[in-house]
Amino acid sequence: HADIAMYRGKQTGRNNFQFYTPAMNEQALERLRIEGDLRSALDNNEFLLHYQPKVDLASGRIVGSEALIRWQHPQLGMVSPARFIGLAEETGLILPIGAWVLRTACVQCRRWQLDGHDDISVSVNLSVGQFLQKDLVISIADVLEDTGLPPASLELELTESLMMTDVEHAIGILTGLKELGVRLSIDDFGTGYSSLAYLKRFPIDVLKIDRSFVRDITIDADDAAITASIISLARHLKLRVIAEGVETDEQLDYLRHYGCDEIQGYLFSPPVPAEKFEQLLRQERAVV
Ligand code: C2E
Ligand code: MG
Ligand code: MG
Ligand code: MG
């Protein structure tokens, strides 16, 4: 049947020769199905948030949490964000989904604070579509007011590419967000295409070293050099710096040695449901 599909491909393709295989058909079907189901997922309460601890290396304590979306699909089971965030962006569904994430994360963080964990903060990932939304600053101000979460307890994680789509516009939005008092972080730092010149123009607070550099710091001299340089850059610019994807004690030792402020990764904990996160918070001892 692959031959017939290929033949059809030749007939429909003009100069470019395309191969259609049953596997590609399945992929396209899966995509269509996920897209259809994504539309009703919010109404059906199929989304949930997991939280991953951010650990401060000076105190050894949990100081923050990153909210990461999960989709409990009725047939497919747990669907990872890698499989649906892009699609949500393309379809515009990211706006209601992102608004749900923001509100849910703020409510949760405020609850932890009222439970006695006063200093805990929460980070939320923002997508391009959300970032370019006209009333972003106002809608975030509303969520903070409704939930009672102090603005300084909310951190927004933005990628370089998101800020680089329209630099002047981005600086305007970032400035508005800073005026609200929320913290801003550059996620996956070092993998995007921003230039260092913009680092001093963007009013950001935190650099988050991408997992792809952290992974091999103990075996690859280039990754080690890049990571040490990002830490040093952050310190000189008076920004905080956090490493993501920390899985081993050797990576932790390296990061500590070079003066990284915080770590996040499986070494301490994967993203976990809110109840599990509370248990981690209740363990009063230092964790690393
Ligand atoms: P990200 O913001 O860079 O989040 C970090 C990802 O690394 C998470 O994957 C996390 O589970 C994973 N991770 C953390 N520690 C380790 C580790 O030690 N080892 C390894 N191998 N992985 C680790 P996840 O949850 O699958 O999310 C993937 C991406 O999806 C996120 O990357 C973010 O870009 C996006 N995403 C997740 N939730 C949201 C959301 O609510 N809104 C938006 N717009 N994007 C989201
Ligand atoms: Mg992130
Ligand atoms: Mg990353
Ligand atoms: Mg990241």
| Alpha carbons 53 and 46: distance in angstroms, whole number | 23
Instruction: Determine whether the shortest distance from the Cβ of 19 to ligand 1 is under 6 A.
Output: no
Tokens of 168: 């002047």
Query: Measured on CA atoms in the order 218, 219, 225, 229, is the torsion positive or negative?
Result: negative
Instruction: Determine whether the shortest distance from the Cβ of 127 to ligand 1 is under 6 A.
Output: yes
- Mean of the per-residue pLDDT values for the chain? 90
Segment 153-206, tens digit of pLDDT: 999 999 998 888 889 999 999 999 999 999 999 999 989 877 788 888 899 999
- pLDDT of residue 12 exceeding 70, the answer is no
Task: Please give the model's pTM, rounded to 2 decimal places.
Answer: 0.91
The mean pLDDT of 227-239, rounded to a whole number, is 96
Choose the weakest-confidence range: 53-62, 195-204, 216-225. 195-204
Segment 18-29, tens digit of pLDDT: 566 677 788 888
Pocket test for ligand 1, best of 155, 244, 262, 272 (most atoms within 8 A of CB): 244
Rounded distance from Cα 244 to ligand 3 centre (Å): 7
Segment 111-135, tens digit of pLDDT: 999 999 999 999 999 999 999 999 9
Residue 269 has φ and ψ, to the nearest 5°, of: -165, 140
Segment 75-87, tens digit of pLDDT: 989 999 999 999 9
Rounded distance from Cα 211 to ligand 3 centre (Å): 5
Rounded distance from Cα 188 to ligand 3 centre (Å): 4
Nearest-CA residue for atom 20 of ligand 1:
245
Nearest-CA residue for atom 27 of ligand 1:
81
